[in-house]
Amino acid sequence: MRLVFRHALLLAVMKDDLEEAATQLASSVGCDRALLEEAHSHYRDAVSEHPADEDARRALVLVEWALALGDGPREAVARG
């Protein structure tokens, strides 16, 4: 993943409000769907390999929400 995206994701992960964080993340990458899909694949694999990794799980949820924002209005479901 690109360095700028990692920085944007790290900032978003620190937010308490997941919806706001996902909106900020999507805005930061200009809704670059390919970049979000790459991040989704990365964090999905990380969560699969390390199910107890809460940071990876939170990043995955944020990326999923950001992808959903790019798809238009729909409800994103948090994994937990």
Read off the pLDDT of residues 46-79 as tens digits, 9 standing for 90 and up. 999 999 998 888 889 888 988 888 765 545 445 5
Tens-digit pLDDT profile for residues 13-45: 777 788 888 888 888 877 678 888 988 998 999
Distance between CA 4 and CA 28 in Å, rounded? Answer: 9
Whether 39 contacts 66, CB under 8 Å:
no
Q: Is the pTM of this model over 0.75?
A: no
Residue with tokens 């899909």: 37
For residue 74, the model assigns a pLDDT of 44
For residue 52, the model assigns a pLDDT of 95
Count of other CB atoms within 10 angstroms of residue 29: 20
Which is it for the CA torsion 10, 45, 57, 66, positive or negative? positive
